Amino acid sequence: MFELITDREVLSQKSKPAKVDEESLGILKQMHETILHYRNTESPIAALAANQIGYPYRIIVLCNGDEFVNMFNPEIAIADGSVEIWEGCGSIPSAVCLCERPRFTLVNYTDEKNSPMILPLNELGSHLACHEIDHLDGITILDRSKKTEYVESEKQKTDVLISRNGPLFAELKARQQAEANMSKDAGSLVK
């Protein structure tokens, strides 16, 4: 159930517009469960596009701690600034890529209650949204890459991302590790 699509041919297909209905809300639930599943692994993910789990619809989820931002049919309305950042992707497990991303984005989307939304995003949030919207357009980090390095494990990938991106990713990894430890501690209290 928690397998991410890694087939480049499938990932290169553009996603269809999504309706907020019973089917898409079920897909959204699967996306949340997938993000939570990967949170406690060597390869935690902070965002996900529906096509990464086999659904060709324009739906992405960004995760900030325990909160999900659910986006149906997201579009970047404004992109400003530019930064090069090393990125990894759960659907491309063996690579880290140097990609150019905007520092700031303004994203228009519809939420899970079918309400139109506008969300300003800076730095990491902007990078994550752009990465996931790229997935919806059939674009992967390999297509955006200015430089690609191949790794042998998820742990090596995480280490490379932290060393190349500095404090930004070290803070994210520390937060994810703390959340994983709290989950393990809570689980041991129940036993």
Active site residues: 132
* Burial of 71: CB neighbours in 10 Å, binned 0-12, 13-18, 19+: buried
* Burial of 191: CB neighbours in 10 Å, binned 0-12, 13-18, 19+: exposed
Distance between CA 48 and CA 35 in Å, rounded? 7
Q: Which residue has the tokens 């063996």?
A: 94
Distance between CA 104 and CA 43 in Å, rounded? 26
> Is 85 in contact with 122 (CB distance < 8 Å)?
no
SS3 at position 102 = coil
